[in-house]
Homo-oligomer: A and B are copies of this chain.
């Protein structure tokens, strides 16, 4: 019997997906401020690269719904949906993306370096970079006898990086509570999975590490819920790691400003037509688990949370420029063994 979400879980997932989408829409809008008529990444309230997660929300919520704050997530360069599903502080996250003093890292990190220790969330900018740390966090829990699983998110392009191989082998050899989740949006920037990956699907690679491998097709929130739930339960039970590849869709460009000329004609439209959020909304309505009113209320709440976060970010002060020189090292001595 595949695992089924409760109604509460479904509504939680829906809320997080909508929050994530609203957040990306807001970011996309604001990102373009100051970048018109000439698009220059350095300008506007949100400078730098911007990798949006539109379309990939099911991968975030279908997995993270099984996690609590104590569980660990290492996310990618495309981290917003994952952060939101992991309950990262939305205001401070927005402020970090704006490079503000109130940001999660006071502006030192930016959109690819979001860290929230309260919910054990981190992300990073190099492909495959979160895999080792997730394995290490899982090792830490095992050694300390503390609960918690680690989830490492990567894109399908990252599955060809050496770190993937090493991390999966190590996690398996040491039988660690970690789940590897591949968001397969079929593209690594302009390079298609087909031209970069020797196998059609990466879940078969799990065999090389003697761990279960699963593939979820069609960006299906419920199927992700079920497969991830089982993998996480397995990890919690001490039965070791799993690999999950999820077919998902990148509804935005690789980063903002990407003209996506490399996409086959019509591909994007087809993806938009299969947008997972309206689909999940219909599902909820069809099962009668919530009515239109309730969903509207959720959507309103999501918009409000996003608006507040964005307002918080906008109105927060810039960091002190000279503070750039501080924080390379922790200054204080540690408290000793029992700290």
Report how far A169 CA is from B162 CA in the complex, Å: 10
In the complex, identify which listed stretch (A111-119, A194-202, A254-262, A286-294) lies at the interface while the others stay far away. Answer: A194-202
Q: Which of A162, A196, A204 has the most CB of B within 10 A?
A: A162
Q: A158-186 interface mask toward B, CB cutoff 8 Å, 1 = contact, 0 = none?
A: 00111111101110110000000000000
How many chain copies? 2
Neighbour of A169 across the interface among B169, B172, B198, CB < 8 A: B198
CB proximity of A152 to chain B, nearest CB, Å:
15
Neighbour of A162 across the interface among B161, B173, B195, B211, CB < 8 A: B161
User: Interface residues of A: mostly helix, strand, loop or mixed?
Assistant: helix
Is residue A210 contacting chain B, with contact meaning CB distance below 8 A? yes
Are A166 and B160 in touch, CB under 8 angstroms?
yes
List residues of chain B with CB within 8 A of the CB of A204: 207-208
Report how far A195 CA is from B173 CA in the complex, Å: 7
Q: Name which residue of chain B comes closest to A198, CB basis.
A: B172
Is residue A209 contacting chain B, with contact meaning CB distance below 8 A? yes
Is residue A205 contacting chain B, with contact meaning CB distance below 8 A? yes
Enumerate A261-296 residues with CB–CB distance to B below 8 Å. none
Report how far A208 CA is from B207 CA in the complex, Å: 8
List residues of chain B with CB within 8 A of the CB of A161: 162, 165-166
Q: Which of A164, A173, A198, A208 has the most CB of B within 10 A?
A: A198
CB proximity of A35 to chain B, nearest CB, Å:
36
Report how far A26 CA is from B40 CA in the complex, Å: 67
List residues of chain B with CB within 8 A of the CB of A210: 198-199
List residues of chain B with CB within 8 A of the CB of A198: 168-169, 172-173, 208-211
Report how far A209 CA is from B199 CA in the complex, Å: 6
Q: A202-222 interface mask toward B, CB cutoff 8 Å, 1 = contact, 0 = none?
A: 001101111100000000000
CB proximity of A187 to chain B, nearest CB, Å:
15
Q: A2-32 interface mask toward B, CB cutoff 8 Å, 1 = contact, 0 = none?
A: 0000000000000000000000000000000
List residues of chain B with CB within 8 A of the CB of A199: 207-210
Q: Name which residue of chain B comes closest to A171, CB basis.
A: B198
List residues of chain B with CB within 8 A of the CB of A195: 173
Report how far A211 CA is from B208 CA in the complex, Å: 13
Residues of A within 8 A of B (CB): 160-166, 168-170, 172-173, 195-199, 204-205, 207-211
Which 5 pairs across A and B sit closest by C-beta, in order of nearness?
A: A162-B162, A165-B165, A172-B198, A205-B208, A198-B209
Can you name 7 A-B pairs with beta carbons within 8 Å? Answer: A162-B162, A162-B165, A173-B196, A198-B208, A198-B210, A199-B209, A207-B208
